C-alpha cells in the first residue's frame, strides 16, 4: 500500500512546508488519537520534542488535535526520543509522540509515534492512521474534550532510568568525558546522567536557540568534538544527534568510532558475561563486513535487515536478540529501552572502560573495517533499477566481488536517490564496481 504521509521513520519534512505544517500536525493528533481510543478508561498521550523552533508550532497543533477527540495530553518539553518511549509505558499512556527530525537541520521537523508498549508503530497502525487523516474527524463532545498538562519531572525520571542501566558497582570516577548534545533534546539529561555517575563531564552543544540543532555539532558533525577531546586531553568523547537516539564515539586520540565498532564491543562483552541473547547481533545491510567477520570469530552471528532502526528492532523482537543497531550510530539495547538510546549505549561503553582499564583507542577498535564505498545517484522519474543495462552492471559487480565482498543497491526512503554501496578487501576493485554501476544508473535515469 502506498504511503502519503509516513516514511521510514514517522513523518518528516520541511516544517511549515507543503507536507509538514500545523494543519497536518493537528490531523495527526486527531487521527492517532481516534485510532488509540480503545476501552472506556481516560485516554492519554505523552508528547515530547527536541529543540527546533518549529517544535512550538507542532506541539500546540498536536495538542489541539488530540484534545479535540477526547484524549488527555501530557507535555514533557525537550526530551530524547527514548525518554518519550519510556514515559509512554511508565505513565500507562495510550500513545507517545516525539516531535523531531533527528539529525536533520533545524528547518526540518518530524513526528514519531509510539504505541502503549513504547515501541514504534507497526506498518498496519500507520496505515490506519493515514486513512483517518484523510477522513472527517470525529470530535469529542464538549464535556469530553481532553485536557493538557505539562510535567516538570520528566528529565529526572529519564536520568534515573538511564543510570539504572549500569550495575551498582560501576562508577565513572577518573574518566574525563566530552559530551556533545548537538544543541538537541539531550542537552540537559545526557551530561547530567554521566556526571552523576562520577565522571568529569565536559558538555558542549548544550545551548539550543531553536536554530542551531545539529549545526556543526553532534554525531553528524564530528570536527568540533574531536578538537575538544584533544584540547581537554579527555579519555573519550560522546557525540549524540538531535533527538539522542544515536551515538558516535571519539577515542582519546581523536579518532571516530562508529556504530559497528560499538556493537562489536557490547555484543562480545555481553556474550562473555552470558548476557547476550539470541547468539548474535542485529544490524542492517550497511554494516561493514569486518563486523560480520569479527562476530563470526567470536562464535556469534550477524543478522542483517533493511536500513532503518525499526527494521533492526523488529528482527530483534522476532529472534529474541538484545543488541542491535546501525553503523550510523543507532544503538538498541532492548534490556533497557524499546528504541535507540545513545546515552544508554554510551554508558555501556564507559562501563567497559572502567572494568577493563583500557583506553578507548584500544578497547573500541576491535576489527579493521574492509574498504567500503557508498555513492548516491539522483534520478528524475521512473525506476532506473528496472533498466536492463543497470541490471547487467549489478550482476557484473556481484560477479567481480565474488565471495570476498558485498554489494547493496537500494532506493533512498526520503529522496529520489539510488544508493550504491560495495565493500571488499580490494579498495580499487570496490571503487571500480561502484563507479560502473553508478554510470549505468545515470545513463538510465
Our answer to whether residue 122 is catalytic in this structure is no
**Measured distance CA(242)–CA(206) in Å, rounded:** 11
Nearest to 239 by CA among 255, 250, 252, 253: 250
Distance CA 386, CA 126 (A): 29
Calpha distance 180→127 (Å, rounded): 36
Per-residue CA distances from 281 to 111, 157, 361 (Å) = 28, 29, 22
Q: How many CB atoms lie within 10 A of CB 341?
A: 31
Q: Residue 351 is placed in which grid cell?
A: 562501563
Contact predicate 312/295, CB 8 Å: no
* CA distances to 69, 168, 193, 350, 356 from 171, in Å: 47, 8, 12, 9, 13
**Catalytic-labelled residue, pool 100, 102, 219, 287:** 102
Give the integer Cα–Cα distance in Å for 436 and 110.
36
- Cβ pair 145, 25 in contact under 8 A: no
Q: How far apart are CA 105 and CA 211, in angstroms?
A: 8
Report the distance separating Cα 432 and Cα 234, nearest Å. Answer: 40
In degrees rounded to 5, what are phi and psi of residue 110? -160, 170
What's the distance, Cα to Cα, between the start and end of the chain in Å? 25
* Angle formed by the axes of helices 342-356 and 154-163, nearest 10°: 40
Point out which residues pair with 13 in neighbouring strands.
109
- Secondary structure of 80-97 as H, E, C letters: CHHHHHHHHHHCCCCEEE
Any idea which residue has 549545526 for its cell? 215
| Active site amino acids | 102
Amino acid at each position: 500500500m502506498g504511503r502519503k504521509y509516513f516514511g521510514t521513520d514517522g513523518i518528516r519534512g520541511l516544517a511549515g512546508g507543503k507536507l509538514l505544517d500545523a494543519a497536518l500536525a493537528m490531523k495527526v493528533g486527531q487521527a492517532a488519537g481516534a485510532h488509540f481510543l480503545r476501552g472506556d478508561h481516560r485516554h492519554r498521550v505523552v508528547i515530547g520534542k527536541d529543540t527546533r523552533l518549529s517544535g512550538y508550532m507542532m506541539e500546540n497543533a498536536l495538542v489541539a488535535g488530540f484534545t479535540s477527540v477526547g484524549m488527555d495530553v501530557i507535555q514533557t518539553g525537550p526530551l530524547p526520543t527514548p525518554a518519550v518511549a519510556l514515559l509512554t509505558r511508565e505513565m500507562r499512556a495510550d500513545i507517545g509522540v516525539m516531535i523531531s527530525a533527528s539529525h536533520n537541520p533545524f528547518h526540518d521537523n518530524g513526528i514519531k509515534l509510539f504505541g502503549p508498549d513504547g515501541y514504534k508503530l507497526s506498518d498496519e497502525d500507520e496505515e490506519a492512521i493515514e486513512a483517518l487523516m484523510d477522513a472527517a474527524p470525529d470530535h469529542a463532545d464538549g464535556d469530553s474534550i481532553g485536557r493538557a498538562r505539562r510535567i516538570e519531572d520528566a528529565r529526572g525520571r529519564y536520568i534515573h532510568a538511564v543510570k539504572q542501566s549500569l550495575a551498582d558497582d560501576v562508577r565513572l570516577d577518573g574518566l574525563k568525558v566530552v559530551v556533545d548534545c548537538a544543541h538537541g533534546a539531550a542537552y540537559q539529561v545526557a551530561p547530567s546522567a554521566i556526571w552523576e555517575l562520577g565522571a568529569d563531564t565536559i558538555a558542549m552543544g548544550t545551548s539550543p536557540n531553536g536554530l542551531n540543532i545539529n549545526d556543526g555539532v553532534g554525531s553528524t558533525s564530528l570536527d568540533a568534538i574531536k578538537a575538544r577531546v584533544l584540547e581537554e586531553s579527555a579519555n573519550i568523547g560522546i557525540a549524540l544527534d538531535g533527538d539522542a537516539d544515536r551515538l558516535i564515539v571519539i577515542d582519546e586520540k581523536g579518532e571516530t568510532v562508529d556504530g559497528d565498532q560499538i556493537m562489536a564491543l557490547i555484543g562480545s562483552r555481553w556474550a562473555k558475561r552470558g548476557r547476550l541473547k539470541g547468539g548474535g547481533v542485529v544490524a542492517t545491510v550497511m554494516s561493514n563486513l569486518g563486523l560480520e567477520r569479527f562476530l563470526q570469530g567470536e562464535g556469534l552471528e550477524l543478522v542483517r535487515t533493511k536500513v532503518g532502526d525499526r527494521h533492526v528492532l523488529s528482527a530483534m523482537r522476532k529472534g529474541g536478540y538484545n543488541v542491535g543497531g546501525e553503523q550510523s550510530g543507532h544503538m538498541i539495547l532492548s534490556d533497557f529501552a524499546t528504541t535507540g538510546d545513545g546515552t544508554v549505549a554510551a554508558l555501556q561503553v564507559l562501563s567497559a572502560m572502567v572494568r577493563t582499564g583500557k583506553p578507548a583507542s584500544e578497547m573500541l577498535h576491535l576489527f579493521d573495517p574492509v574498504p567500503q564505498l557508498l555513492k548516491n545517484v539522483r534520478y528524475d522519474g521512473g525506476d532506473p533499477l528496472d533498466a536492463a543495462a543497470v541490471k547487467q552492471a549489478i550482476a557484473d559487480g556481484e560477479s567481480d566481488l565474488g565471495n570476498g565482498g558485498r554489494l547493496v543497491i537500494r532506493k533512498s526512503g526520503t529522496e529520489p536517490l539510488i544508493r550504491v554501496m560495495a565493500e571488499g578487501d580490494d579498495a580499487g576493485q570496490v571503487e571500480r564496481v561502484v563507479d560502473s554501476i553508478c554510470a549505468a544508473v545515470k545513463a538510465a535515469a
